[in-house]
Amino acid sequence: MTDEDLPWVVENERELHAFPWSEGNFADSLRAGYNCWVMHNGGGPVAYAVLLTVIDEAHLLNISVTRGAQRGGIGGKLLDYLFAVAQQGGATQFFLEVRPSNTAALALYEGRGFVAVGRRKGYYPAPGGGREDAIVMRREL
């Protein structure tokens, strides 16, 4: 991901998420040196991700697949790539948070070997002004 990708990333982020990251969130991630990726399939972009690696831990901050590319294996392929990036950076563990209501993501993560290791109460904003917990998941690399 580069600054030139940000308009596409932000447009898709707004389409995909009720509470999207801002352009500033993505720009800050790029400037901080996080691993930021845009995945292409058939010539066009179809997914993006932001990964933070610190010492021996990787933390997936954002992963999103465009609506037209969902349920086609793109998310799994991108995760597999991120596992390799994290390992090359010295990570031995991979963490993420996911909404309990995001059953498709939960199935993807569990299918890739993640296990729930905790819960963050009221972590995510929810429709109607409430809050939704986050399930903390971990996978050994």
Q: Which of 34, 48, 109, 124 is catalytic?
A: 109
Is 97 tagged catalytic?
yes
Does residue 115 sit in helix, strand or coil? Answer: strand
- Give strand pairing partners of 139: 94
Query: Taking the chain, what is the end-to-end CA distance rounded to the nearest angstrom?
Result: 24
Q: Regarding beta strands 57-65 and 93-98, do their DSSP bridges make them parallel or antiparallel, or are they unpaired? A: parallel
Catalytic residue among 97, 110, 123, 124: 97
Backbone φ, ψ for residue 64 (5° rounding)? -145, 140
Antiparallel, parallel or unpaired: β 44-54 and 93-98 = unpaired
Could you confirm whether 109 is annotated as catalytic?
A: yes
Residues marked active site are found at 97, 109
